Structure 1
Amino acid sequence: MEEEIKAEFLKSGFTFDEEEEVLKKCVAFCINCKLSASDLVSSWEVYYLNRQLDEPVVYNAQMDGFLIYLQDELRDAAVKEEQQLHVYSMLDVSGILNGDEQDTKDEILRTPTKSGQSKVEANDSMHYTFEDYPTSRGRAETDTPYGRRKNKFVIQQTGCDLPALEGRRTDHGDDNLEDDIISRVRPGKRCSLQVHGSKPEPGCRFMYERIEDRVNHLENRILKHAAVCHASGLYDEPTDATIASQKSIMAVGMICCDGEGRLNEKSTLLQCSAEHSGGQRVRLDLQKLRQFSIFPGQVVGVEGNNPSGHCFVASKIIDYIPCLKSSSVNFPPAKKQDLDPEFASTDEENISELSMIIAAGPFTTIDNLYFEPLSDLLAYARRKLPQLLVLMGPFIDSEHSEIQKCSIHKTFDEIFQLEILKKLQDYVEYMGSSARVLLVPSTRDAHHDFVFPQPPFDVQLHDVTHQILSLTNPGTFNANEVNVGCCTVDILKHISAEMVSRKPADGLPWDGRSKLANHIIAQRR
């Protein structure tokens, strides 16, 4: 058998790296899969072309992947065989009644016991050979390097030191800090969830906008910021920054650059609202400021004066949202609810605890699309019983090597339905009605719109529609009075590339990452 397999490989132009080991495994494949030597080599040629291997050499390290490919072929063939049921027509019936098809008649009238037994035996032999072969393209733990790892559910790296909880259990040394947080919530207790609706919506038209809409959006941002600053009682009413004045005034506008290049101290402009200054821009002098941190597109409040009418000399920049003394500002209901006293109760009995697990994709390893990390994540969630599971894309990563090589045999939507939604549906059915899942798309998702802001996934699951939801990218939601914002684009990286800052001269510590995060929160309106 080994000589026959070797001859077929040589005939097709292939050589061996470790000939003895490779041939032994090929013989085992032929026996287990009931293949001839020529069929085995034909399957290898298909596998070789799909994987786009460089050299016509059969390596021993490639045998595990080849075995997985053969298992896929056997499973697909078994499914097709079960689906090919014969539908009898009138010609079949008349032929049987006339006695013309005696063989067919005997086949139909014969008891199906033997045929059924033969199929069962064939399936049993296959099950015995590949008993650990899971469904939905899952793999046994010994099939991949990820499955063979030994340090499962072990923290590999932490970004910061978390504070210790009071009353933390010390009798279990293997309990992690986040395990204690999650276990404080009773399993089966459902959290309140409110997804703040925002555009774009599924199926919307993108790359289509009017200049008027863009102008109105920027105008509303500036006016809302000005209204908040004035309502706080800490600052005067914003005025026109382009008018010459020796008195100190308050102005609100958007940071701009006077050219196409990168922003710097000399090229900084302040664009005020159309209501206050007709949308005009004025140069912003930052020389008197001890420290600042600004970036293009940022809406800020500026205190200072404009002696000449051409340059606004800033004495203070308000780059945060002041706390309001009252809720008189006309905000949308979702925003005003946070400001009303009846919703701001501090009674501990009315405060519900919230347990969340948040994970960001991709949920595959770099060498395959078996979604083993996602399966382990869902297994971890089943053990910890969180109220909310937030999964952020990419789910079908367009930068994955398998997708870039076009070596997959399903469409992107089919992979998303089978490998993502089907597993999540099984998860919520197992966890019960208290479990909820939120999906956040990514611009790297191959099956979704490549735009930003990004519409949510069109999730059509009739049985668990209220449990599996999708957000826009970026998007916000409220769970048990906790507001959470999600975005799969590294906004902090983009802001840091455009930001201009001046550190304090007295050498006080300057946390740049915290400053970037504060900018995101300050621009929330």
Structure 2
Amino acid sequence: MEDKESLRKLFLDLGCEIENDVVFDKCFEFCNNYDVDLDKLTELWVTFCVNNDADIQPTIDNLIKMEHMILKKDYKLDHTSHYNKNIDNDDVLSMYGCTESGRPSKRARRSPEVEIDADTQVDKIKAAEYSFSPATCTEKSSVSSQQHQVRNVTDKEKILLSVGETVSSWKKTDYEVQVTKSDEPHIPSDARYMYEILSKQGHILTSVCQNLGNRLFKTWLTTTNNGIELRYVKNVRCVSQTNFRTFGRINTNKDSTNTVTLEGSTRRKGISGANTIELDFRNLKQYSVFSGQIVAVEAVNPVGDTLYVKEIFTKSYASPAVTPMIESKLNIFIAAGSFTPSSNMHYQALWDLMEKVASDEPNVLILIGPFLEYTHPEIQDNIIKDTHHELFEKILIKIMESTRRNTQVILVASNRDVHQEPIFPTPHYTIFNRKLLQNYSNLRLMPDPCILDIAGLKIGITSVDVIKHIGKEEISNVSGDRLSRLADHVLSQTCFYPVYPPFEDLNVDTELWEKYAFFDQQPHLLVLPSDMRCYCKVINDCMIVNPERMHKHTYARLSVKPVIGGKWSSNNISCEIAKV
């Protein structure tokens, strides 16, 4: 039963709620048969879904496909419990790294096994039409693309999620808009990074903690009018048998005992680090904390080694942005990378989207990187014959050629692009082809994170999967809509990436993070792309959208109505997440 709850929690981290015990049984069968633990199994499941455009919600059919494509290929079957099963020659030889001919075989990703109905089969050759040039992809890539680009046409135009009023038509409107950066600071293109000193890094973390902690105190005081005066102390290790309030940064340890500690915001003279103390949540009915979160607590510390928390306060939202001055209906299309599956470099999903953009002509098209993800097999194996910048500019030219002049195209950079600075916050893309920028005046290059301003409509965007990162670090006993709770953490911390320490694959420069990763005003719309299932949530009157990944042929489209009577509401935005 404990293993079942652990697996349920791991899938909840991915935004999946499993009610069918058959799915659990199949997962435990895989763990026993292939000697993998629950954490590894869920990691393999995410890998399978990303590489094969599969729904993140596990089903028996897709689990079996994952077994054939990953487990059977990369993990040896435990023969002690399966000695009476027949294994074909290919499986036996592959265990020893050999093919039927006896030669060593190089492990490679297998193509998904898809059953194609004759009436719904699409043209397999279509992908080849979109190859950029013979210098871009090898013949191997071309053949692979034809095998992988077959998709059931019944998925086209399928609405996965709809929020707000129904939009009768997404076709062109005559309303012309200009997209600019908001007044908040954005990382410049010439920013210097990784020059920080550890002592200065500690000072920055302390300063951020003090600023947000003081704001939490003030907000907490205005929301509680019980007439009880409590002491406010900055030393988290203050010994007291009576209730007092303090604040600090959370550090969770999920690898061992799920312990939670609080790091204070003061550093004693001669001590390199701030005071820390363990938190005891046994008196709380519910809580949700993650590493890096700044919280305020009401607690007692009778002995000096543990804070027994009576109450925790985490929400101190930024002030809302001013009312937008939109004069007519505004249509916005949003898609997030990666834009091509790991099987090829032909970007079929992106070109399908561009056909839709050319047809509907939205006012704004927002494309969020990565475009050339550094983990893509063909990039890692150096199969691409163009330079990375040349390939990126070829993709960009094709995007702009497919877009009408009255559609503003916004490209948001990603630190996962192989041709981009591997740092967060990330400067905007560099374009060496100056004619490209001169020829397309409707192209805007934006850093990560950024806040767009469209006639006063503020749209906050980051390419980092902050929702998944928070979910991996969260310790909670709260039931309900987990995706909303994770997204709410971003808003309440007023930071595009509040996790600390950051994930291993994300290079965060602390000085740049302090300057450019926070927002003083809450955007009207917040775009947080994630590998987790698509969602559209309204939290504190801010609409938060995850369009999921474009390589799964999924994108978001929004219709924003003008303000009537001078009062703005999230109801002014209608959102659909659809298949293209």
TM-score, L = length of structure 2: 0.52
Indicate conservation of the 8 Å contact 1:248/1:303, yes or no.
yes
Flag the 1:435–1:495 CA change in 2: closer, same or farther, 3 A.
same
Mark the CA change 1:146 to 1:157 in structure 2 (over 3 Å): closer, same or farther. farther
SS at match of 2:410: strand
The alpha-carbon deviation at position 481 of structure 1 amounts to 3.9
Q: Are the structure 2 counterparts of residues 354 and 308 from structure 1 closer, same or farther at C-alpha, using a change threshold of 3 Å? A: farther
Task: Describe the SS at the equivalent of 2:283.
Answer: coil
Q: Is the 8 A contact 1:193 1:479 kept in 2?
A: yes
| 2:255 aligned with 1:262 | yes
Q: Is the 8 A contact 1:304 1:313 kept in 2?
A: yes
Answer whether contact 1:225 1:252 (CA < 8 A) is retained.
no
Q: Match for 1:470: what amino acid? A: L
Residue 415 of structure 2 contacts residue 426 of structure 2 at CA under 8 Å; is this kept in 1? yes
Alpha-carbon distance in 2 for matches of 1:408, 1:493: 30
Structure-2 separation of matches of 1:435 and 1:153? 26
CA distance in 1, matches of 2:472, 2:149: 39
1:302 maps to which of 291, 297, 304:
297
Q: Secondary structure at the match of 1:270?
A: strand
Secondary structure of 1:390's match?
strand
The correspondence for 1:454, drawn from 422, 426, 433, is 426
The CA deviation at 1:243 is 1.9
SS of 1:463's equivalent in the other structure is helix
1:403 lines up with 2:396 in the alignment: no
Task: Give CA-to-partner distance per residue, 1:257-293, whole Å, 9 cap, x none.
Answer: 5xx773755x322122128999322222211111111
After TM superposition, give the deviation of residue 189 of structure 1 in Å. 2.0
**Residue of structure 1 aligned with 2:450, choices 475, 482, 495:** 475
- CA distance in 1 between partners of 2:214 and 2:133 (Å): 63
Code of the aligned partner of 1:476: I
2:465 maps to which of 461, 485, 490: 490
Q: Deviations over 1:413-433 (max 9, x none)?
A: 1111112x21233345xx22x
- Which stretch of the first structure deviates more once superposed, 479-488 or 405-414? 479-488
Distance change (3 Å), C-alpha of 1:354 and 1:510: same
CA distance in structure 2 between the aligned counterparts of 1:385 and 1:372, rounded to whole angstroms:
19
Give the distance between the partners of 1:200 and 1:263, measured in 2 at CA: 37
Q: Which residue of 1 aligns with 2:388?
A: 412
The aligned amino acid for 1:270 is L
Q: Read off the aligned partner of 1:209 and give its amino acid letter.
A: E
Name the stretch that deviates more: 218-227 or 469-478.
469-478
| Aligned pairs (5 A) from 1:127-276 | 144=146, 151=153, 154-156=156-158, 158=160, 160=161, 162-163=162-163, 165=165, 169=168, 180=169, 182-183=170-171, 186-195=173-182, 198=185, 200-232=187-219, 233-234=222-223, 238-240=232-234, 241-257=236-252, 262=255, 264=257, 267-274=259-266
Instruction: Please give the per-residue CA displacement for 1:44-78, whole angstroms capped at 9, x wherever unaligned.
Output: xxxxxxxx999xxxxxxxx989x9999967xx9xx
Structure 2 residues without counterparts, runs of 5 or longer: 1-105, 109-123, 225-229, 496-580
Letter in 1 for 2:492: A
2:292 counterpart of 1:316? no
Do the aligned residues in 2 keep the contact of 1:195 with 1:471 (CA within 8 Å)? no
Cα pair 1:392 1:488 within 8 Å, conserved = yes
SS of 1:355's equivalent? strand
Residue aligning to 1:380:
356
Provide the C-alpha distance between the structure 2 equivalents of 1:360 and 1:69, rounded to a whole number of angstroms: 20
Please tell me whether the aligned partners of residues 272 and 281 of structure 1 are also in contact (alpha carbons under 8 angstroms). yes
Q: Is the 8 A contact 1:283 1:311 kept in 2?
A: yes
* SS of the residue 1:382 aligns to: helix
Name the structure 2 match of 1:174. Answer: none
Say if 1:353 and 1:480, in contact at 8 Å, map to a contact too.
Answer: no
Identity of aligned residues (%): 23
- One-letter amino acid of the structure 2 residue matched with residue 215 of structure 1: G
Letter of the structure 2 residue corresponding to residue 269 of structure 1: T
Indicate conservation of the 8 Å contact 1:263/1:499, yes or no: no
Aligned mates of 1:70, 1:206 — CA distance in 2: 36
Q: Between Structure 1 and Structure 2, which shows a larger proportion of strand residues?
A: 2
Matches of 1:409 and 1:320, distance apart in 2: 50
* Cα separation, 2, equivalents of 1:220 and 1:276: 15
Counterpart position of 2:493: 523
| 1:234–1:379 Cα change, 3 Å | same
Conserved in 1, the CA contact under 8 Å of 2:409 and 2:442? yes
1: CA distance between counterparts of 2:370 and 2:131?
Answer: 29
1:421-455 Cα deviation digits (max 9, x unpaired): 21233345xx22x4222222334322222333333
Distance 1:71 1:449 in 2: 24
Question: Shift in Å at residue 371 of structure 1?
Answer: 3.0
Alpha-carbon offset, residue 302 of structure 1: 1.0
Change (3 A) 1:462 1:237: farther
Stretch deviating more after TM superposition (143-152 or 451-460): 143-152
Q: Which amino acid aligns with 1:520?
A: V
After TM superposition, what 4+ stretches of structure 1 lie above 4 angstroms from structure 2?
67-73, 143-150, 195-200, 235-238, 275-278, 349-353
Letter in 1 for 2:233: T
- Looking at structure 2, the residues matched to 481 and 374 of structure 1 have their Cα atoms a distance apart, in angstroms, of 29
Question: What amino acid is the match of 1:375?
Answer: W
Output one character per residue of 1:116-174: Cα deviation in whole Å (capped at 9) or x when no partner: xxxxxxxxxxxxxxxxxxxxx9x99xx9467776828813572x4x24626x65xxxxx
Q: Secondary structure at the match of 1:274?
A: coil
Quick one: which amino acid aligns to residue 429 of structure 2? F
Which has the larger share of helix?
1
CA contact (8 A) 2:299 2:308 kept: yes
Deviates more, 1:223-232 or 1:390-399: 223-232
Which SS does the other structure have where 2:307 is aligned?
Answer: strand
Letter in 2 for 1:445: D
Counterpart amino acid of 2:362?
A: P
Closer/same/farther in 2, CA of residues 302 and 481 from structure 1, 3 Å limit: farther
Are residues 1:424 and 2:417 paired?
A: no
Letter paired with 2:355: A
Matched, 1:282 2:272: no
Which residue type is aligned with residue 360 of structure 2? K
* Residues 263 and 498 in structure 1, CA contact (< 8 A), matched pair in contact too: no
Classify 1:401/1:68 alpha carbon distance in 2 versus 1 (closer, same or farther; 3 Å): farther
Classify 1:372/1:152 alpha carbon distance in 2 versus 1 (closer, same or farther; 3 Å): farther
Q: Hey, what's the Cα distance between the residues in 1 that align with 2:238 and 2:328?
A: 52
- Deviation digits for residues 162-199 of structure 1, max 9, x if unmatched? 24626x65xxxxxxxxxx3x44x733421553346656
Question: What displacement does 1:251 show?
Answer: 1.5
- 8 Å Cα contact 2:408-2:443 kept in structure 1: yes
**Matched position secondary structure for 2:359:** helix
Q: Distance in 1 between matches of 2:376 and 2:354?
A: 22
- State the Cα distance separating 1:466 from its structure 2 match: 5.9
